[in-house]
Homo-oligomer: A and B are copies of this chain.
Amino acid sequence: MADWKNLDTLKSFDELAKAKKVVVKDVMAGEAGAARVKKYNMPMAEGMSFNYAAKAVDDTVLDLMQKLADEAQLTDKYAELYNGEVINTGEKRLVLHQLCRGQLGNDVVADGVNKREFYAEQQKKVAEFAKKVHSGEIANAKGEKFTTVVQIGIGGSDLGPRAIYIGLENWAKKTGNFKMEAKFISNVDPDDASAVLNSIDVAHSLFVLVSKSGTTLETLTNESFVKDALKNAGLDASKHMVAVTSETSPLAKSSDYLAAFFMDDYIGGRFSSSSCVGGAVLSLAFGPEVFDAFLKGAAAEDKLATNKNILENPAMLDAVIGVYERNVLDMGTTAVLPYSQALSRFPAHLQQADMESNGKSVNRFGEPVNYKTGPVIFGEPGTNGQHSFYQLLHQGKDIIPLQFIGFKNSQIGNDVDIQGSTSQQKLCANVAAQIVAFACGKDDENNNKKFDGNRPSSIIVGDKLTPETIGALLSHFENKIMFQGFLWNVNSFDQEGVQLGKVLAKKVLAHETDGALSVYSDMLGI
């Protein structure tokens, strides 16, 4: 059994904190900088690579990072997780999202069920259902094919599947894998559901209701919205809806749905894209083969995360570097900057995955910790961000570590040659230029035009954004978050911080308020 200890009790962390700091600007200069970019690079799955040359590391620091990874037993803890230990101690649950995409260790049997088989079986049910929808065997009351799929879900039931859908929409259209348009309803703001419903042909739409508990207020409310719209169109709602839920939820056996697909309590919402939470909508939109390819990419990256050698484990190195930046270099925010318009909502998904997992102040035993934990995560695609918030990243008072992502090729392949280069070349030139600008800076007599440099960044480079590569990317960040949670010794798999707001909102709706809450409620017209 692994030994769960606070970060600040680890001897190797103390050594790492005391090690000589690497000045990124110095080490990235000249031919030594070029050699460094070649050296500090490691393969990821699906032909991608993780380059950390522009991070504040050298061989000494990397050795200490290996020691820290060893002392914190990071891969041992990962093994406990995928072998089915109760890693989510607060809620006394296993943590099994990786099992949706492959089996890295022993059979995991819980509640008398082999969980790998269970998840695979659910995905098989989804695949069969999707194929029947695509063939027209499952159709609307008039026997016409469904053309649109609408996911109703919020948080983990929305952000990941939506980011992946946007990530693959153009790829699917280009490669002939586009089966149905997908839309998403998430917010309890009635304008969200209304606008989506106004934009679709409900008679040819299939709705995927996603709520693990079957009790998420936003989602049930939006279900009613949809049922009203179907009823108003003279349609039988139960012929237009499927449920993704747990077997024990009130939705599981309801006759209100064409079908029900199951996940369980061992898959947290923010990690559920690989389960049928992502599987249903993505298999319907792009076909089950595409979703399988996504799982394959994620599984391959999961495998890399088992490597004990930190230089062969991109997620683990990325995690340790992030903790070093947060707890030694005192940097409080991280920007995720994909140079790919298709990844426009990927940072929003990572924002949830990371901040909800590691935005904690107590360790896994419920004891307050005396060090910083998860950072704020934000980001927008490049080159858009360059014309927006990069000013602060380059010349602001705080140093914000950067996580770039880039691909050599576009998804659609249309391009124009202007001033001797294609748009794709311009895109790639910009990300290369930014890394060096952030790292090396530029001196100038005019302080206003001076760049201090020393802004650390890493980049993940791939050939093209595909189902496999987006799967690998997702796995990389999920595992990075997991390893960081291990280092901070927090439970990355619960979210008690979302409860109080829910409780108070119920009080407002029940008109059981007093004090400040009562005045705010009046002000907002409730």
Chain B residues with CB below 8 A from A367, complex form: 447
For A49, the closest partner residue in chain B by CB is B523
- Beta-carbon contacts of A507-521 to B below 8 Å, as 1s and 0s? 111000011111111
Chain B residues with CB below 8 A from A54, complex form: 516
Chain B residues with CB below 8 A from A514, complex form: 31, 34
Q: Is the CB of A416 within 8 A of B173?
A: no
- The answer to the question of A214 belonging to the interface, with a C-beta cut-off of 8 Å to chain B, is no
- Beta-carbon contacts of A285-328 to B below 8 Å, as 1s and 0s? 00000000000000000000000000000000000000000000
- The answer to the question of A329 belonging to the interface, with a C-beta cut-off of 8 Å to chain B, is no
Q: Is the CB of A190 within 8 A of B410?
A: yes
> Out of B392, B439, B497, which one reaches A451, CB within 8 Å?
B497
Chain B residues with CB below 8 A from A159, complex form: 388
Size class of the contact patch on chain A: 35 or more
Q: Is the CB of B397 within 8 A of A361?
A: yes
- The answer to the question of A102 belonging to the interface, with a C-beta cut-off of 8 Å to chain B, is no
Q: Is the CB of B500 within 8 A of A394?
A: yes
**Residue picked from A31, A194, A520, most chain B C-beta under 10 Å:** A520
> Out of B388, B412, B491, B495, which one reaches A195, CB within 8 Å?
B412
> Out of B188, B374, B377, B432, which one reaches A423, CB within 8 Å?
B188
- Beta-carbon contacts of A239-279 to B below 8 Å, as 1s and 0s? 00000000000000000000000000000011000000000
Interface residues of A in 35-79 (CB under 8 A from B): 36-38, 41, 49, 51, 53-54
> Out of B190, B269, B360, B409, which one reaches A395, CB within 8 Å?
B360
Q: Is the CB of B501 within 8 A of A390?
A: yes
- The answer to the question of A113 belonging to the interface, with a C-beta cut-off of 8 Å to chain B, is no
Q: A388-B159, A501-B386, A520-B435 are in contact. Are A340 and B189 (CB under 8 A)?
A: yes
Q: Is the CB of A198 within 8 A of B173?
A: yes
- The answer to the question of A112 belonging to the interface, with a C-beta cut-off of 8 Å to chain B, is no
Q: Is the CB of B29 within 8 A of A187?
A: no
Q: Which of A123-131, A138-146, A150-158, A473-481 contacts B (4 or more CB under 8 A)?
A: A150-158
A451 to B396, CA, bound (A): 32
CB distance from A469 to the nearest CB of B (A): 14
A396 to B41, CA, bound (A): 32
- The answer to the question of A220 belonging to the interface, with a C-beta cut-off of 8 Å to chain B, is yes
For A409, the closest partner residue in chain B by CB is B525
- The answer to the question of A466 belonging to the interface, with a C-beta cut-off of 8 Å to chain B, is no
Interface residues of A in 327-375 (CB under 8 A from B): 332-333, 339-342, 348, 351-352, 355-362, 366-369, 371-374
Q: Is the CB of A411 within 8 A of B497?
A: no
A509 to B422, CA, bound (A): 10
- The answer to the question of A526 belonging to the interface, with a C-beta cut-off of 8 Å to chain B, is yes
- The answer to the question of A400 belonging to the interface, with a C-beta cut-off of 8 Å to chain B, is yes
Q: Is the CB of B333 within 8 A of A424?
A: no
- The answer to the question of A499 belonging to the interface, with a C-beta cut-off of 8 Å to chain B, is yes
A459 to B519, CA, bound (A): 13
CB distance from A453 to the nearest CB of B (A): 9
For A500, the closest partner residue in chain B by CB is B437
Q: Is the CB of A414 within 8 A of B190?
A: yes
Q: Is the CB of A195 within 8 A of B341?
A: yes
Chain B residues with CB below 8 A from A499, complex form: 449
Chain A, interface SS category: helix
CB distance from A443 to the nearest CB of B (A): 11
Q: Is the CB of A505 within 8 A of B430?
A: yes
Chain B residues with CB below 8 A from A402, complex form: none
A427 to B397, CA, bound (A): 36
- Beta-carbon contacts of A435-457 to B below 8 Å, as 1s and 0s? 11101111000111111100000
Q: Is the CB of A366 within 8 A of B448?
A: yes
- The answer to the question of A121 belonging to the interface, with a C-beta cut-off of 8 Å to chain B, is no
Q: Is the CB of A517 within 8 A of B433?
A: yes
- The answer to the question of A111 belonging to the interface, with a C-beta cut-off of 8 Å to chain B, is no
Q: Which of A3-11, A13-21, A92-100, A221-229 contacts B (4 or more CB under 8 A)?
A: A221-229
- The answer to the question of A403 belonging to the interface, with a C-beta cut-off of 8 Å to chain B, is no
Q: Is the CB of A190 within 8 A of B360?
A: no
Q: Is the CB of A508 within 8 A of B433?
A: yes
CB distance from A53 to the nearest CB of B (A): 7
- The answer to the question of A177 belonging to the interface, with a C-beta cut-off of 8 Å to chain B, is no
Q: Is the CB of B381 within 8 A of A189?
A: yes
A388 to B440, CA, bound (A): 35
> Out of B158, B422, B503, B526, which one reaches A190, CB within 8 Å?
B422
14 residue pairs of the A-B complex, CB under 8 angstroms, read A29-B516, A154-B387, A158-B384, A187-B427, A190-B412, A225-B416, A348-B388, A360-B396, A366-B448, A406-B524, A429-B524, A431-B524, A433-B504, A437-B504
A448 to B504, CA, bound (A): 18
Q: Is the CB of B432 within 8 A of A526?
A: yes
- The answer to the question of A468 belonging to the interface, with a C-beta cut-off of 8 Å to chain B, is no
- The answer to the question of A421 belonging to the interface, with a C-beta cut-off of 8 Å to chain B, is yes
Chain B residues with CB below 8 A from A348, complex form: 380, 388
- The answer to the question of A186 belonging to the interface, with a C-beta cut-off of 8 Å to chain B, is yes
Q: Is the CB of A423 within 8 A of B515?
A: no
